[in-house]
Amino acid sequence: MLIIISDLHLGDGTTADSIAPSAFKLFARRLSETAHFASIRKDGKYRPIERMDVILLGDIIDPLHSTRWLDTDPGDKEYIRPWSDHSSPAYAKKLLDVTRAILNKNEESLQVMRRLATGEEIQLVPASRKGEPDYESRIRLPLKVHFHYMVGNHDWYYHLKGPAFDAIRAEMIRRMGLSNPLNTPFPFEAEESPEIAELFERHKVYARHGDIYDRFNYDRTIGRDHGTLGDVFTMDVCNRYPVEVSKRYRDRLPTGIVNSLRKITNVRPLLATPLWISGQIRQFAGNRKLENDLKKVWDEIADEFLQLDFVRQADKAFRFDMVDAMEWAVKLSGNASVKTINEVVVWVHKKMWGGKNSFSRYALEESAFKTGKAQYIAYGHTHGYEVVPLALNTSTPVPESQIYFNSGTWHSYYDLAVGSPEKQNFIPYQTLTYLTFYSPEEHDGRQFEAWSGSYA
């Protein structure tokens, strides 16, 4: 049995809050129930399964949403950011500091993972002679859950090679109960891990985080071991803004505004962040002067972001590109009205992503789909849970459905309402999604389950 989850975005608490431990406890209960039903085999007999694998499909630990990176400024001798030269000793040192802070912040949740990994959390009853669950038996069969970490665009740092990064991964393996091998980068592609590749082949699944289809968060010319515009915007604009506001106007700020602004990290789509900021300022500021001052802080930070060497190097002369788009989209004051900002955000979204959040169309181009090697293609990244029929493979003895899944997220959402977006209305809710793929002999022949819940 193979489980896929993604986009937990566990943080250190310096920006938005992490997922509550109750979500992990609920997940553990669901896994226990699933293990029981998977033990009812295709022939109707009960035989306890001996293995369960969970793919952590990227953006699980989220170092990018930490303000701990902001203790130096551009020009400082010790200046370091996620997109800095990772051969510098200061880089691994900072990543270790941030990673430990995240692990410590989420210790109660990670304890659930460790208990699952050691077999303490899931214990199956043995089978009776009749092939039924023997609930009268005092014997319990521990089922160890094997967690396999793959990276995405918020945790790509754990794909970097070198002893310093091996040490960081070793601590994650121990604290999270991971099955990843020591002294080996966490894989970005399934082909980088023989064990994950074998799991995918056995379950007729192919999965990746999906960030390679997002130009804002992946640069095909340099690959996954490098920062992107998305990293810079998240760190030096979204993370920095609440810190800067608190620093400059601490005595003038109404109760609640800084905590509200810290939720920037949950806003979707990302380029709608200026609308979120504008709406929160208008709601909390209480007077026009403070409202204007707070908008100026945002614009000042946005201007500094646009002038960073990394951002300017990404600009391409004589053509409209991502940087040019952001010059329009990230500003709050000046001559741009809220209506204009919204129109630009929507236009940029259509220009860069085709106006669609679904990545299902990219699944059609996967080699595993084209060859029929995989029945199921799964991505994360977009946070939007999906089940999309792709094709019916008739080249097999028995025709097989080929289906695309998105594994959603467990994170909080502040989603821009599609009705009258110029009103800057964001709807908050939380979700919990996971995908389950069965071997042919498990769960009386069932092939897959996809579960997603939303709550507020």
**What are the pLDDT digits (tens) for 68-115?**
999 998 888 889 999 999 999 999 999 999 999 999 999 999 999 999
Confidence of residue 354 (pLDDT cuts 50, 70, 90): very low
Q: Which domain holds residue 106?
A: 2-210+382-410+427-455
Which tokens in the block code for residue 367? Answer: 């080699």
Query: pLDDT digit string (tens) for 201-217?
Result: 999 999 999 999 998 89
Q: What is the pLDDT of residue 395?
A: 82
Task: Looking at the structure, tell me whether residues 166 and 254 fall in a common domain.
Answer: no
Q: What is the pLDDT of residue 118?
A: 97
Q: What is the pLDDT of residue 54?
A: 98
Domain assignment present for residue 376? The answer is: no
Picking from 187, 15, 181, 36, the residue whose alpha carbon sits closest to that of residue 101 is 15
Task: Looking at the structure, tell me whether residues 101 and 151 fall in a common domain.
Answer: yes
Task: Looking at the structure, tell me whether residues 206 and 290 fall in a common domain.
Answer: no
- Reduced to 3 DSSP states, what percent helix, strand and coil does the chain have, rounded to the nearest 5? 45, 15, 40
Number of domains within the chain: 2
Query: pLDDT digit string (tens) for 296-313?
Result: 888 898 889 888 888 888
Give the phi and the psi of residue 400 in degrees, each rounded to 5: -120, 135
CB 329 within 8 A of CB 351: no
Task: Looking at the structure, tell me whether residues 18 and 70 fall in a common domain.
Answer: yes
Other C-beta atoms closer than 10 Å to the C-beta of 313 total: 9
Q: What is the pLDDT of residue 268?
A: 64
Tell me which of 48-52, 96-100, 233-237, 330-334 is least confident. 330-334
Give the phi and the psi of residue 40 in degrees, each rounded to 5: -85, 110
- Work out the angle between the directed axes of helices 89-105 and 107-118 (0-180°, nearest 10): 80
Strand order of the sheet with strand 376-379?
A: 205-208, 376-379, 400-406, 386-393
pLDDT at 245 > cutoff 80: yes
Of 315, 336, 353, the residue at which a domain comes to its end is 353
Q: DSSP letters of 100-112? A: HHHHHHTHHHHHH
Task: Looking at the structure, tell me whether residues 80 and 199 fall in a common domain.
Answer: yes
Task: Looking at the structure, tell me whether residues 205 and 259 fall in a common domain.
Answer: no
CB 372 within 8 A of CB 396: yes
Confidence of residue 19 (pLDDT cuts 50, 70, 90): confident
Q: What is the pLDDT of residue 260?
A: 78
Tell me which of 46-55, 274-283, 444-453 is least confident. 274-283
- Work out the angle between the directed axes of helices 338-353 and 322-329 (0-180°, nearest 10): 160
Phi-psi region of 300 (alpha: psi -120 to 50; beta: other; left: phi over 0): alpha
Q: How far is CA 432 from CA 7, 133, 262, 269, 391, in A?
A: 10, 30, 22, 19, 27
Task: Looking at the structure, tell me whether residues 49 and 14 fall in a common domain.
Answer: yes
Say which residue, 425 or 283, is predicted with more confidence: 283
Domain assignment present for residue 377? The answer is: no
For 338, the 3-state DSSP assignment is helix
CB 277 within 8 A of CB 341: no
Domain assignment present for residue 242? The answer is: yes
Task: Looking at the structure, tell me whether residues 205 and 235 fall in a common domain.
Answer: no
Of 353, 374, 398, the residue at which a domain comes to its end is 353
Confidence of residue 18 (pLDDT cuts 50, 70, 90): confident
> What is the percent of the chain where pLDDT is above 70?
86
Confidence of residue 355 (pLDDT cuts 50, 70, 90): very low
Task: Looking at the structure, tell me whether residues 195 and 305 fall in a common domain.
Answer: no
Task: Looking at the structure, tell me whether residues 126 and 162 fall in a common domain.
Answer: yes
Domain assignment present for residue 358? The answer is: no
Task: Looking at the structure, tell me whether residues 106 and 77 fall in a common domain.
Answer: yes
Segment 114-130 shows an average pLDDT of 97
Segment 167-178 shows an average pLDDT of 98
Domain assignment present for residue 129? The answer is: yes
Do strands 386-393 and 400-406 pair parallel, antiparallel, or not at all (unpaired)? antiparallel
CB 329 within 8 A of CB 274: yes
Domain assignment present for residue 166? The answer is: yes
pTM above 0.75, yes or no: yes
Task: Looking at the structure, tell me whether residues 179 and 290 fall in a common domain.
Answer: no
pLDDT at 270 > cutoff 90: no
Domain assignment present for residue 374? The answer is: no
Domain assignment present for residue 204? The answer is: yes
Is the Cα dihedral 166, 218, 268, 366 positive or negative?
Answer: negative
